[in-house]
Amino acid sequence: MSKEHTMATTLPQSTELLSLPHPQLVVQGEQALMWYLAASPSPQALSAVQFACTLLQQHCADDLVELVPAATSVLIVFDLLKTDHVTLAERIQQWWPLQLSHGQSLGQLVELPCYYAAEVAPDLARLASLHQLSIAEFIQCHSSTRYQVNAIGFAPGFAYLGDVPTTIATPRLATPRARVPKGSVGIAGVQTAVYPATSPGGWNIIGNCPIPLFDLSKQPVMPLSVGDTVQFVVIDRAEFLRLGGDITGWQL
């Protein structure tokens, strides 16, 4: 992975997070607790989710099996031999309201290179004309927006990024494709994402990111976390190839 395209910059920090009256902790299973941090998705909600995960990891790591952050919640899966719902909930309540201390940062800005061209993006021209934009205007719109990682799921390394400007938001394909090549950058509604592996998929493909989003040989295996900010950087064909991009992905 080339350094110049994944510069991680610390974003401005907020000092106070949400104004929910109390933490909403709900039993979710024999060894699971759901922590709702906000009623609806927002950048503040995501910051709170990320901060909640940090607190849990710092203070309860030994009791935890899994933490699954989402847009407004954190699923906490714990080891029932070590703790229980009540003990964990009491602990979490002590942290409320969440206060970020100075010096703590929320999320990183990650720049992802993207090659916007017909040979890797079968839907680029169609989407541009659908939105009555030139291809250059469409690319400008997608690449000048900063997106937040709202959730990671569906497949290993698949990050849901949002929101794309309404001027380029486009519903999913009516019929999903049987095969979308690895690295494809897609739009579905107001979300955008990079396909971390070749898979079936119904998103409109407008570009390709040559940097692997899920790489078992890397530590961490994924360069993004929920709450991070992503911006796509336009690259040309030569740079795409230099970074390991594959232009043959759509040829069978």
Partner 1 sequence: MSEFRSADSAQQRGFLIQQTHALVQVQDAGRRGFAKVGVTEGGWLDATSARLANALVDNPAEAALLEIALGGFSAQAQAECVVALTGANLPFTINGIAQSRYQRIQLLAGDVIHIGYANRQGARCYLAVHGGLQTPEVLGSRSTVLREQFSGGPLAVGQLLPYQASRVYGDLSLPYAWHYKHRRFRRLALVLGAQAELLSPLLASFSAQIYRVGPAADRMGVRLQGRALAMPSLNLISEGLCVGSVQLPPDGLPIVMLRDHQTMGGYPKLGALCRESQAWLGQALPGDFCQFELIDAAIAISKGRAFEAKLSAIEQQLRQQAGAWRV
Residues forming the site for partner 1 (CB under 8 A): 26-32, 34, 36, 40-41, 53, 65-75, 77, 80-81, 84-86, 151-158, 197, 214, 216, 220-222, 225-226
- Give the angle subtended at the CA of 74 by the CAs of 214 and 105, to the nearest 5°: 70
Q: Which is nearer to partner 1, 92 or 127 (CB)?
A: 92
Minimal distance, residue 115 CB to partner 1, in Å = 24
Q: Which is nearer to partner 1, 27 or 125 (CB)?
A: 27
Minimal distance, residue 17 CB to partner 1, in Å = 18
> 207: which strand partners?
185
> 147: which strand partners?
230
Strand pairing class (159-162; 229-234): unpaired
Q: Which is nearer to partner 1, 169 or 222 (CB)?
A: 222
Minimal distance, residue 160 CB to partner 1, in Å = 8
Query: Measuring CA to CA, which residue among 127, 115, 202 is closest to residue 169?
Result: 127
Q: Which regions of 115-243 does DSSP assign to beta strands (E)? A: 147-152, 159-162, 177-180, 184-188, 191-194, 199-201, 204-208, 229-234
Q: Which is nearer to partner 1, 64 or 241 (CB)?
A: 64
DSSP 211: S
Minimal distance, residue 177 CB to partner 1, in Å = 17
